A = this chain, B = another copy of it.
Amino acid sequence: MSKVATPQPLRRLRAGIVGGGRGAFIGSVHRIAAELDGQAQVVAGAMSSHPEIARESAAAWFLERAYTSYADMASSEAADRNGIDFVIIATPNDLHYPVARAFLSAGIHVVCDKPLALTLAEGEELVRLLAAGPTLFALTHNYTGYPTVRQAREMVRGGQLGEIRKVMVEYTQDWLMEPLESRGNRQAAWRTDPARAGLGGCVGDIGTHAQNLLEFVTGRHIEALCADLSSFVPGRRLDDDANILVRLGGGVKGTLVCSQVACGEENRLSIRVYGSQAGLEWHQQDPNTLIYKPAGRPWERLSTGHGYLSPSAKAATRVPAGHPEGYLEAFANIYRNFMDDVRRVERGQPPVRDYPGVQDGLRGLRFVAQAVASSRAGSVWMDL
Contacts and interface: CB of A to CB of B under 8 A. Distances in A.
Interface stretch (A68-76, A340-348, A349-357): A68-76
Interface stretch (A32-40, A96-104, A115-123, A359-367): A32-40
A58 interface: yes
B7 A55 contact: yes
Contacts of A295: 174, 177, 263-264
Interface in A284-326: 284-288, 292-303, 305-308, 318-326
A228 B69 CA distance: 51
A259 interface: yes
A257 interface: yes
B328 A327 contact: no
A14 interface: no
A220 interface: no
B328 A10 contact: no
A185 interface: no
Given A1-B72, A298-B292, A36 B36 contact: yes
Given A3-B66, A285-B322, A285-B324, A298 B303 contact: yes
B3 A72 contact: yes
A379 interface: yes
Name A's interface SS.
Answer: loop
A328 B325 CA distance: 7
A8 interface: yes
Contact of A320 (B25, B265, B278): B25
Which range contains the number of A residues in contact with the other chain? 35 or more
Interface stretch (A87-95, A124-132, A189-197, A267-275): A267-275
Interface stretch (A133-141, A165-173, A211-219): A165-173
A378 interface: yes
A306 B294 CA distance: 13
Given A72-B2, A255-B243, A261 B165 contact: yes
Contacts of A293: 263-265
A282 interface: no
A93 to B, nearest CB: 18
Nearest to A264: B293
A384 interface: no
19 contacts: A2-B67, A2-B72, A2-B73, A3-B67, A4-B68, A6-B65, A10-B59, A25-B319, A32-B37, A165-B230, A173-B322, A243-B255, A263-B294, A264-B278, A266-B305, A267-B321, A299-B303, A325-B328, A328-B329
The 5 closest A-B pairs by CB, nearest first: A264-B293, A266-B322, A267-B322, A324-B326, A323-B327
